[in-house]
Amino acid sequence: MPNAVPMPADPILEVDQLSKRFGGLVAVKDISFRIRGGEILGLIGPNGSGKSTVMKLVMGIEKPNAGSVKLAGTEIAGWPTHRIARAGIGIVFQHSRPLHRQTVLENIKLALLPDSLLRLVADRSVDRTAHAIGERVGLSDVLNRRPATLPFADLRRLELAKAVARDPKVVLVDEPFAGLTAPEVAAFSELIDGFRKDGRAVLLVDHNVKSVAALVDRVLAMYLGEYVAEGTAEEVMRDETVRRVYLGGHIETHVRTKLNVHEGAPALDMRGVNVLYGKAQALDQVSLHVHEGEFVSLVGLNGAGKTTLFNAISGLVPFSGDISWNGASLRGRTPAAIARGGIVQCPESRELFGDMSVRENLDLGGQHLPTAAARAKQLDWLLELFPILSERHAQPARTLSGGEQQMLAIARALMMQPKLLILDEPTLGLAPVILEQLSKALHLLRETTPITLLLGEQNVTFALPHADRVYVLEHARIVWEGDPGRFAAEMGTGYL
């Protein structure tokens, strides 16, 4: 266990049966945990599992519908945020929120000032303390700079410095490693470990078990607002329910009956691609290739960078490095030109025209085809592939179920007769019966057409049966490449 500080017997933070509803959605249901001083609890789960809502409930950003939150024995559930902060709970947000007109030192000094209108000027002791805090978190060389000039990692350090300045009993840390490189993750982990060594209780919220395993004392896993498992990181990673939540179930692979992959140079070739969102590294030296006729699955947890990678290919975000399609660079091409050139993306958000009918959405997808006969032939094929769309052809897209909307989004993309179809998280939020229908459609595409497919998925058990090769994307980098059989043998537990 990573903890090296003797912990008091009584917990500093006690959460009991905490629940939160947003209308008819139960975001958090009966969550309970304890954290003692000198202990780090990792709260993990896929996106949408409710972990960030728990953190907001503890901090008073959201008000619970039921349950208890006690700080050192005092009930604080429902208190306003400023009162909870004064009582001794600090928060390190995932997205930095500095005062941009002030220097780094001034941001830290403002966090040190008491909450009083009678005391607006810092004395020399505050200045000395601010310098010491800046040095502790690795900001001593940039104290006189303004936040806008800092690299992303230093902005995260500034958020930690502001938390240290408030001298909290409990520190809440939201997605601490998002956007950081591997060396920065190691440095940031040391800083978070410093809270534990100070005897503070730490609640660390993250979606990835592996990211927090070496740092936390215990892990609590959530899914769809509910408790799944609790224990050491190793125990939680071995838990069958956790594995189902993250992997989607038992991993199976299907070797294609007849592999029509063309040899030679790949159709899509990415080399050393980097993407930045502001100062956050969304892709870091990513290289992958897809041959004509090949089905490739890109798997990774939410936040790994899958959508960013697809958007770089589609010309939707700027990038450095090189992306070529059939030997020609995609740099400088518009998204429309890339789509007309044969690369069509079906986005995670579907982007359907809700007030238009199913047929009208499909017609829009096929409007560039040269003849009415070509459009009719493509439409007939798609309605055989997704029969439910034939029954719903006159319905507005917004009235379809989530699964039907996903089928329509894929069908509209296929109406463009793409050479490369990019599918981004097609299984997100779908019921098992819809997943089965979608799986059958992809199986038919794989076995009976020459189409090339790049599939991005968190759900490994959906992605692998439809793959000739697999890439694993983790923290903006490709960390593994191989065939589905090797994935099952080598990455079954490592993926967590």
Amino acid letter, 429:
G
- Give the integer Cα–Cα distance in Å for 224 and 21: 12
The predicted pLDDT at position 329 comes to: 95
Q: Is the pLDDT of residue 347 over 60?
A: yes
Same fold across 13-247 and 268-490: yes
- Give the integer Cα–Cα distance in Å for 87 and 377: 68
Q: Is the pLDDT of residue 249 over 90?
A: no
Q: What is the mean pLDDT of residues 231-259?
A: 70
CB 239 within 8 A of CB 207: no
Q: Is the pLDDT of residue 300 over 90?
A: no
DSSP E strands in 232-378: the ranges are: 268-277, 280-290, 295-299, 320-325, 328-329, 343-346
Q: What is the mean pLDDT of residues 126-138?
A: 87
- Give the integer Cα–Cα distance in Å for 470 and 486: 9
The predicted pLDDT at position 490 comes to: 72
CB 273 within 8 A of CB 320: yes
User: What is the C-alpha end-to-end distance of the chain, expressed in Å?
Assistant: 19
- Give the integer Cα–Cα distance in Å for 11 and 19: 20
- Residue 1 confidence class, pLDDT cut points 50, 70, 90: very low
CB 302 within 8 A of CB 207: yes
pLDDT tens, position by position, 217-229: 999 988 888 898 8
Consecutive H or E run containing 378: helix 372-385
The predicted pLDDT at position 118 comes to: 45
Sign of CA dihedral 407, 412, 416, 421: negative
In the chain, the percentage of residues whose pLDDT exceeds 70 is 87
Residue spans of the domains in the chain: they are 13-247, 268-490
Q: What is the mean pLDDT of residues 201-214?
A: 80
- Give the integer Cα–Cα distance in Å for 174 and 436: 35
- Residue 307 confidence class, pLDDT cut points 50, 70, 90: very high
DSSP lists the bridge partners of residue 22 as: 25
Q: Are strands 469-474 and 295-299 parallel, antiparallel or unpaired?
A: parallel
What CATH number does domain 13-247 carry, 3.40.50.300, 3.40.50.10300, 3.60.10.10, 2.160.10.10?
3.40.50.300
Q: Is the pLDDT of residue 216 over 70?
A: yes
Q: What is the mean pLDDT of residues 61-89?
A: 93
Residue-averaged pLDDT of the chain: 85
Q: What is the CA angle 245-248-250, rounded to 5?
A: 120
Q: Is the pLDDT of residue 370 over 50?
A: yes
Q: Are strands 201-206 and 39-44 parallel, antiparallel or unpaired?
A: parallel
- Residue 109 confidence class, pLDDT cut points 50, 70, 90: confident
DSSP lists the bridge partners of residue 453 as: 295, 421
- Residue 286 confidence class, pLDDT cut points 50, 70, 90: very high
Highest mean pLDDT range out of 56-70, 185-199, 470-484? Answer: 56-70
Task: Please give the backbone phi and psi of residue 11, each rounded to the nearest 5 degrees, phi first.
Answer: -70, 150
DSSP lists the bridge partners of residue 290 as: 268
Class of domain 268-490: alpha beta
The predicted pLDDT at position 121 comes to: 53
The predicted pLDDT at position 302 comes to: 73
The predicted pLDDT at position 155 comes to: 87
Q: What is the DSSP string of 61-95?
A: SS--SEEEEEETTEE-TT--HHHHHHHTEEEE-SS
Q: Is the pLDDT of residue 318 over 90?
A: yes
The predicted pLDDT at position 117 comes to: 44
Structure-token match 């897209």, residue found: 397
- Which of 38-42, 137-141, 312-316, 341-345 comes out lowest in average pLDDT? 137-141
Q: Is the pLDDT of residue 181 over 90?
A: no
Output the pTM of the full model.
Answer: 0.61
The predicted pLDDT at position 245 comes to: 66
Amino acid letter, 31:
I
Q: What is the DSSP string of 143-161?
A: TTS-GGGS-HHHHHHHHHH
Residues 6+ apart with CB under 8 A from 290: 266, 267, 268, 296, 420, 452, 454
The predicted pLDDT at position 23 comes to: 82
Residues 6+ apart with CB under 8 A from 472: 299, 300, 478, 479, 480, 481, 487, 491, 495
Q: What is the mean pLDDT of residues 112-138?
A: 73
The predicted pLDDT at position 16 comes to: 95
Q: Is the pLDDT of residue 299 over 80?
A: yes
- Residue 449 confidence class, pLDDT cut points 50, 70, 90: confident
